[in-house]
Amino acid sequence: MTKPFSVVLASLLVLTSTLSPLASAQQSQPLDRIAAIVDEDVVLQSELDRAVRNVKSQYAGRENQLPPDDVLQRQVLERLVRVKLQVGRADGSGIRVSDEELNRAIASIAQQNGTTVDGLRQKLAADGMGYGDFRASVRDEIIVQHLRQSFAQSRISVSEGEVDTALAQQATTGSQYHLAHILVGLPEGATADQIATGQKKVDGVKALIDKGELDFSAAAVRYSDSPNALEGGDLGWRSLDEIPNAFAQLIRDMQPGQVAGPLRGPSGFQLLKLVEMRDANAGGEKKLVTEYNARHILVRINDSQTEAQAKAKIDTLRARITGGADFQATAKESSEDTNSRGQGGDLGWFPADAFGPDFGKQVEGLADGAVSEPFRTQAGWHIVQRVGSRQTDVSAESQRAQIRETIGRRKLEEEYNRYLQELRGEAYVSFRTGDRADGDASAAPAKPANPAAPAAPRRTAARRRHSRRADSMLPSLALVPGEPAGIGPELCVRLAQRPRSDAHLIAYADPDTLHSAAKALSLSVRLLDPDQRARAPGDLPLHPIRQAAPTRFGITDPANAAAVIAGLRGAAGDCLSGKLQGIVTGPVHKAAINAGGIPYTGTTELLADQAGCPVVMMLANAIVRVALVTTHLPLRAVADAITADAVTRCLRITDSAMRRDFGLERPRIAVLGLNPHAGEDGHLGREELDIIIPVLEQLRGDGMQLIGPLPADTAFLPQKLTGFDAVVAMYHDQGLPVLKYSGFEQAVNITLGLPYPRVAVDHGTALELAGRGIADPSSLMAATELCARLAARG
């Protein structure tokens, strides 16, 4: 579930809650100018002035804790630079914020400040800030949060062993520690001179604190390079499992008020202060949650059933039930939720938030046996009947989940800070004073004479050469649009409108088709030679694949089947030769290819055949990853294809890929049974007893962490998914409907086991949308971003 904006946008809540008269004197301002150039973006002087005023207003009554204005300006400017860099990276990765999401965030900010959106606009105007500038700031904050979430999903994992170790630690000491820190950052691969300068600076800061000339918080504001410097370096309350191992023993032996260090860490030199400590009382009490048992009926909205038709149908079904019809019998007959229809709509026991807040509110508000009024969710129109409720002790489960979250949060903080340092080190940043632009440190805000003052950022010719080298080290990815009559070509044209900072894309497509797609979208596209780099919006390097017939959007032509296959095989061949590092593929129309006289089962099978290696199809979104033992088979052939060798091969490839590609030390893989209720001990089929369970036992002996076999109808409950890193399903339609329902637009198709990463969109050719300019590029953007990350991992 999405976190409340009051948490996500904490810094903006501070900004709007401290709207102060400091800005009123700024109504008459000189013409705006540039404070800093950040790659292809800028920080305006008005942005910097406004941010400095906001920091000062937060310290009203505590002004003596702030550094001199020139130091404060440098600290704030550096923070704004980092925001610009993150927004730029997110933009290149295809992260977007819709107007609807932005409006919800602003409404939440207004509510937190006890006003309406109109009232917020008036406050902003009184402080001299335009509403458009405010919306842009909020959008940037949301984008940065989404970038952090994407980073966490791709790079952060917590093993069960780490959770067990943390629980053992907590059993011996249930203490929590309120910490603050000061970071004197060092660049990656720091030279001896840079290390000596950093050591001198941190020693100077420590001396000022020890002599009582500055308290720790003021020193952090003035000298720390950490993103939380302006909060006095406050790290909040931490348990030992949230503290890096190198520092945990040291902190355990410290007394409140004590400052330790300097300590050398991966990001530079640190000073640590133990502010206070407390007993966390871990595991002392039961944690009870209310669970509900309910049935529901769902009527979906789709191409064949409009909103009005779906609402009329659900109204009719409710009237039938309130008139005496049995809810379960009606659900079996009419519900469009295939997962629960066979059980009369029964959803089992679940906490209120398991199916989203709207559904939970309906269930909570009912008496046992009562039927709700029709209500709408993203899935469609529902009615729900509450069967019962109970209190369940989830203390042990909750404790493990909390430990896992805190360890993950600590890892994310460490890794993301290093990531920010890399971004900052590779970026072109030029500070400006007056009207003069200069990349040299002499153009930065003035520095205090204090020997402990931090050095200003520099941009030299060597840094520019490093940036060009970094550009040449980016992975090169093939972009294959798939069926030319579908939406693939226009999605590629849309993707080309935003030059990427994480990969070089080369389209394997017909140039006339791409030009036609651009014309249909009223966009420009400039096709380059395949060895050229995209530098401007619309640039797209091209490896031309000529079609036999012109493209007519929405109408397939079997004559072009050979070109589709040639694009796929050409891209795969260049990956196998090392010329490219990955492939992103659009949707392919299987019937059109077969009608062209080319036997074709699917792209996964084609690439596996060309590479000569076994592969596994995995589909994934932000919520779940699902790998398949069998792929495109008729249902009657699935049982025969579930062999010990097939299950073993799928699990080994999945486990290996999760370790190598996703960085999981010991991935937790849930395995579904083939039959209903996982076979019911052989009563509903013997594949679990004869094949799946023996394979799992054997692979567990090899160290794999496997859960199952699980019944497929309950394995995807939200509270269960948090315990898995991936799910292995026996056949195509067993695992994928839930995945597509939970996040179709962001779902991608990954081929595991190839010697290079291949990621595809998880949608069809959408012939009915082709050429109309309304196709959603989200899945292609997500596929490209993931492929770039996997290729960068090597």
677-723 per-position pLDDT tens digit = 988 888 889 999 999 999 999 999 988 999 989 998 888 887 677 77
| Percent of the chain at pLDDT exceeding 70 | 85
Which of these, 110, 45, 105, 56, lies nearest to 80 by C-alpha position? 45
Pick the CATH number of 614-752 from 3.40.50.1100, 3.40.718.10, 3.30.450.20, 3.40.640.10: 3.40.718.10
Where exactly are the structural domains of the chain? 5-155, 160-284+397-426, 288-393, 474-612+754-794, 614-752
Residue 508 pLDDT level (bands cut at 50, 70, 90) = very high
Position 444 scores a pLDDT of 36
Residue 181, annotated ligand binder?
A: no
- Is residue 19's pLDDT more than 70? no
- Is residue 404's pLDDT more than 70? yes
Residue for token pair 């008020």: 257
Residue 657 CB coordination number (10 Å): 25
Residue 406 CB coordination number (10 Å): 19
Residue 494, annotated ligand binder?
A: no
Q: Which residues of 553-574 are buried (b: 16+ CB within 10 A; e: fewer)?
A: bbebbbebbbbbbbbbbebbeb
Residue 173, annotated ligand binder?
A: no
Residue 296, annotated ligand binder?
A: no
- Is residue 202's pLDDT more than 70? yes
User: Which CATH number is associated with domain 288-393?
Assistant: 3.10.50.40
Position 744 scores a pLDDT of 58
Q: DSSP labels for 724-773?
A: -SEEEESSHHHHHHHHHHHHSTT-EEEEETSSS-EEEESS---TTTTTTT
Position 264 scores a pLDDT of 82
Distance of alpha carbon 502 from alpha carbon 90, whole angstroms: 10
739-775 tens-digit pLDDT: 777 665 667 889 999 999 999 988 889 898 888 888 8
Residue 749, annotated ligand binder?
A: yes
Position 248 scores a pLDDT of 73
Whether the CB-CB separation of 504 and 784 falls below 8 Å is answered with: no
Amino acid symbol at 321: I
Q: Report the run of H or E that residue 276 belongs to, with start and end.
A: strand 268-279
What would you report as the CA-atom Rg of the chain, rounded to the nearest whole angstrom? Answer: 29
Distance of alpha carbon 569 from alpha carbon 575, whole angstroms: 10
Position 395 scores a pLDDT of 65
Distance of alpha carbon 118 from alpha carbon 110, whole angstroms: 9
Residue 720, annotated ligand binder?
A: no
Residue 515, annotated ligand binder?
A: no
User: Residue 568: how many CA atoms within 13 Å on its side-chain side?
Assistant: 26
What are the Cα distances from residue 162, in Å, to 250, 284, 670, 733? 20, 21, 19, 34
Amino acid symbol at 308: A
Position 281 scores a pLDDT of 53
- Is residue 27's pLDDT more than 90? no
User: Residue 40: how many CA atoms within 13 Å on its side-chain side?
Assistant: 12
Distance of alpha carbon 410 from alpha carbon 265, whole angstroms: 14
- Is residue 14's pLDDT more than 50? no
Is the model more confident about 533 or about 623?
533
Distance of alpha carbon 546 from alpha carbon 510, whole angstroms: 5
Task: Report residue 295 CA to chain centroid gap.
Answer: 32
Whether the CB-CB separation of 486 and 587 falls below 8 Å is answered with: yes
Maximum CA extent, the chain: 85
Least-confidence region, from 228-232, 435-439, 469-473, 607-611 = 435-439
Between vectors from CA 210 to CA 208 and to CA 215, what angle results, nearest 5°? Answer: 65
80-106 tens-digit pLDDT: 998 998 888 887 767 778 888 889 889
- Topology of the domain comprising 5-155: Triger factor/SurA peptide-binding fold (1.10.4030)
CB under 8 Å to 422, separation ≥6 — which residues? 188
Is the model more confident about 138 or about 12?
138
- Topology of the domain comprising 474-612+754-794: Isopropylmalate Dehydrogenase (3.40.718)
End-to-end CA distance of the chain: 32
- Is residue 23's pLDDT more than 50? no
Distance of alpha carbon 606 from alpha carbon 569, whole angstroms: 8
271-307 tens-digit pLDDT: 999 988 877 654 455 667 788 999 999 998 876 788 8
Average pLDDT, the chain: 81
Pick the CATH number of 160-284+397-426 from 3.40.50.720, 2.40.33.10, 3.10.50.40, 3.50.50.60: 3.10.50.40
Residue 254 pLDDT level (bands cut at 50, 70, 90) = confident
Least-confidence region, from 364-373, 494-503, 559-568 = 494-503
Q: Is the fold of 5-155 the same as that of 614-752?
A: no
Stated pTM of the model: 0.45
Position 129 scores a pLDDT of 77
